[in-house]
Structure 1
Amino acid sequence: MEPVTLTLDQPVFILGDHPVTLGMCLFVTIAVLLIAGIPTVLRRQRARQAALEAEERMTALIAAQTEMQGRIAAMAEVFGARQSELNQSISQRIDGMTHRLGASISEQTKATHENLRRLQERLAVIDTAQTNIQSLAKDMAGLQSILSNKQTRGAFGQSRMETIIADGLPMGSYAFQATLSNGSRPDCTVRMPNGQPALVIDAKFPLEGWNAIRNAADPEASRQAAQQFRRDMEVHIRDISGKYLIPGETQDTAFLFVPSESIFAEIHENFEAIVQKAHRARIIIVSPSLLMLSIQVIQAILRDARMREQAHLIQGEVIRLMEDLTRLDDRVRKLHGHFLTTQKDVDDILTSSEKLKRRGASIEALELETAGSPPDAKPEPKSFDNRMGQLKLRVVDED
């Protein structure tokens, strides 16, 4: 049987109007096989590549793990050292803080004890002050009871005025409750120098009217109390002017003593008309400080008057002192002359003694023949004796 030869371009079957050759079938078959095998190859390549990548990643992971373990070990060592240093530093700081806290607590305790001690001292001072305030309150209550009574109020003003005058003036220059020629008795009369009339001081201030002003409950009551006080002051000023201003016996001005500085200031501030009326009546309203100043002025006037009274005595004493000084000057001058004469005599005596020494030295050296004739040497002892006698006479005269 003869073999059949197949060629690639030999049609195998007809698909539609197109013949399908063997080559085409082989090509399609190969193409199908290739298309079917490509995913497997790709998958294998991908698997191998994934395995390689996984192996590389595992190797890198193992290396990273090894490096991480080394770093963790190094960090553990560093953290251990740092923790030890931190523990030591914390212990030192805790010890320092404990010491400082102990010292601070000790100082604070001392300061607290000192403050408590000072507080106790201040409390003691406060207790003393409170006791003084209570005593002062009792005294003020007593003073209020005194001032509420007209007679005791007058005695209070009188005693204060008397204290100021007695402290400022010498005895005999004032008198309390002295009777004048018209029968009135002022609280005080001050004797002026050079025969001048006496100065009259009145201490009967109408304090009840002033207390009524201060104790008024409403403005209307205060206004009425002020009017009443004004009337009382006017009546009192007229009484002083009519009773105590006596021509030739008293000064033409009298003092109305107010026993309180605050009342004096409020009178000048709120009752100017009363002050002006008192001035026109030649009545001077004075407070304790003004009275003290006036007394000091009067004291200076009295002192000046006493000095003028004693001026002739002082002048006589000065004249006698000058006479004694003149006699002393004469005697000093005479004594100075005696001293000069005595000094001259002493110088002459020294000169003579020097000559005697030289002559004695010449005699001792056997030089008498060359020194001069003997008659010239004899008068020297005589002159020496004469001068010594004169000196003794002068000393006796001086004694």
Structure 2
Amino acid sequence: MDAVQLSFDTPVVQIGGTVISLGGVAIGLVVLLGLVVIAVVLGLRRSAGLREEARIAAEAAAGERAREMESRFAEIMGAQAEMQGRMATIAEVFGSRQSEINKSINERLDGMSQRLGNTISEQTKATHENLSRLQERLAVIDTAQNNIQALAKDVVGLQAILSDKQTRGAFGQARMETIIADALPSNGYAFQPTLSNGVRPDCIVHMPNDAPGLVIDAKFPLEAWNAIREAGEPEAQKQATQRFRRDVEVHIRDIADKYLLKGETQDTAFMFVPSESIFAEIHENFEALVQKAHRARVVIVSPSLLMLSLQVVQAVLKDARMREQAHLIQGEVVRLMDDVVRLDERVRKLQTHFGQAQRDIDQILTSADKVTKRGAKIEALEIEAEGSEPPAANAGTENVAPMPERAGRLKLHVND
């Protein structure tokens, strides 16, 4: 024991004037170890207490957040119920509005159909009246044309007509009368009239404005011409040619002496040749006869030349008749223009009615399209809270906005 004590008393460290023995060192180590053990035990107890406090605080926070979520969920459910009520009210209002719009559209369409029917009936009646007037005037024109037309005469075969002198003369007369009757109105000429000197020309054409008439003679000497064609020997042909020249000269002189009467007939008369070949032969081989006829103021005409001359006369007569009937024509034209203007006004009125009807239908279609789109928007309606944010983890003390204020910030999103 003493040896142990001596050993504990054995000095180990000397610090200044203090000597620390081995036993002191051991006691210090024991005390230090005890202090460490106590510190560890106290740390463990403090850590357990802190963990328990943290657990209690976390449970309290979780309960607070749960209560806050329940409150917000209740608010959302209330807002949803209120919104469903509003949607039902809006659907009911739109349903009644759509019924009123459909009723108004139907009434407007019925009125428009009635107006269009009345307008079309009036325009159809007016058109029938105008067509009736036009048909009456066309009937008057057809009657006038039938009165102007002249009947053509039948011509027998050329061989039978030229059988004798009297028949050949009748052939020239008939052909001349046919051409004149086809070209001139019935009051524009006269066949076989008697002049003041007692002679009777084959035809006289009445000129307008009380001018002297134009005499046409058809008694061309065909016997001498046929004799030239039938002559076989040169001597006989020469004699037939001289005879033809003499007969034509006598005929030209007779026309100039008998038919050219001053103040009663024109100072020029026509000698009608019934064949184009004879007319061409005279101008080619009997130039002296043509010159003599010209000096005697007698014009030799063929069927085509006579027809052309009569067309000129017809134009002159038509111009004279037009001048005489100018006031009647002007009156008819004025009445016709009145009818045309009236028809144009009625057509324009009908066009205006149709244009107005088209514009009304376009507006109705636009309104119906808008109603359809709005109905589709109501069916596809979505609800979203404008500016809403998810709740924060530490929002336990956050103030929740009242339900009316939050409902006021709700935004309706519609898929167009």
Normalising by structure 2, report the TM-score. Answer: 0.44
Normalising by structure 1, report the TM-score. Answer: 0.45
